[in-house]
């Protein structure tokens, strides 16, 4: 399939928002779907109603302060905003990959002849390439596989395939690296 025939026009605006510029399929992200937010709300309701802060030290051997911290986390998580996806108004607003594709008039990096620009010296933006490399590592190269799949079958079929996977239980958490990728990058930035 030629890059000019990826059938971008066959997606609704809402479906376009399900694909991040870097190839992450936002439609499989729990922060967008809200499942854990709803579970956190229910867990908070039950644990707070049971007054776990009072009974946990005796019944479970957990310090009261740790239970209170956990309840606070559950409450905050249950009130978190739903992410609208990376396009047009969600995600990391300063994302250099997003800025790069917008500047070039693309929906995703699948449309770029330099994809994957995972080497900082490649591409129109060294910053975008470096950030893309970080995303690749965090998502175990799943986003690159998605971009390659888009090139192979086009946007319409890709979204249909991904929606079927999500209906069958797939979430982005299934592919995210267990390494502390973002933490390491932030620590490295502090020392530079």
CA gap 26, 17 in Å, rounded: 8
- Under the banding of pLDDT at 50, 70 and 90, the label for residue 131 is confident
Average pLDDT, the chain: 85
- Report the C-alpha gap between 21 and 18 in whole angstroms: 10
Q: By C-alpha distance, which of 19, 159, 1, 175 is closest to 101?
A: 19
Confirm if 32 and 26 have CB atoms less than 8 A apart: yes
Task: Output 183 or 40, whichever has higher pLDDT.
Answer: 40
Rounded to 5 degrees, φ, ψ at 170 are: -70, 140
Give the per-residue pLDDT at 165.
Answer: 96
Does the pLDDT value for residue 89 go beyond 80?
no
For the beta carbon of residue 53, count every other beta carbon within 10 angstroms.
18
Q: What is the mean predicted confidence (pLDDT) over 64-87?
A: 87
Name the nearest CA neighbour of 25 among 137, 176, 127, 133. Answer: 176
User: Which pLDDT tens digit goes with each residue over 135-153?
Assistant: 888 989 899 999 999 999 9
At residue 66, does pLDDT exceed 90? Answer: yes
Percent of the chain's residues with pLDDT above 90: 41
Query: Whole-prediction pTM value?
Result: 0.81
Place of tokens 């809402």: 14
Cα separation, 151 vs 19, whole angstroms: 14
When pLDDT is cut at 50, 70 and 90, the band that residue 39 belongs to is: very high
Residue 100 has pLDDT above 60, yes or no: yes
- Per DSSP, the three-state class of 17 is coil
If we measure between CA atoms, which residue out of 17, 22, 5 comes closest to residue 146? 22
Of the ranges 23-32, 134-143, 164-173, which is most confident?
164-173
pLDDT at 1 over 50: no
């Amino acid at each position: 399939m030629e890059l000019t025939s990826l059938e971008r026009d066959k997606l609704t605006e809402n479906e376009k928002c399900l694909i991040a510029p870097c190839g992450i399929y936002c439609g499989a992200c729990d922060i967008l779907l809200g499942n854990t937010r709803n579970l956190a709300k229910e867990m908070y309701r039950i644990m707070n109603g049971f007054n776990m802060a009072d009974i946990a030290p005796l019944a479970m051997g957990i310090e009261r302060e740790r239970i209170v911290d956990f309840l606070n986390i559950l409450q905050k998580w249950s009130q978190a905003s739903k992410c609208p996806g990376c396009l047009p108004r969600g995600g990391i607003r300063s994302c250099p990959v997003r800025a790069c594709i917008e500047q070039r008039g693309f929906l995703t990096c699948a449309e770029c002849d330099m994809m994957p620009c995972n080497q900082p010296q490649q591409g129109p933006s060294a910053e975008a390439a470096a950030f893309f490399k970080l995303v690749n590592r965090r998502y175990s190269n799943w986003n690159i596989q998605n971009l390659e799949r888009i090139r192979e079958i086009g946007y319409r079929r890709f979204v249909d395939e991904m929606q079927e996977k999500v209906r069958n239980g797939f979430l982005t958490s299934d592919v995210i690296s267990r390494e502390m990728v973002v933490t390491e990058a932030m620590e490295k930035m502090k020392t530079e």
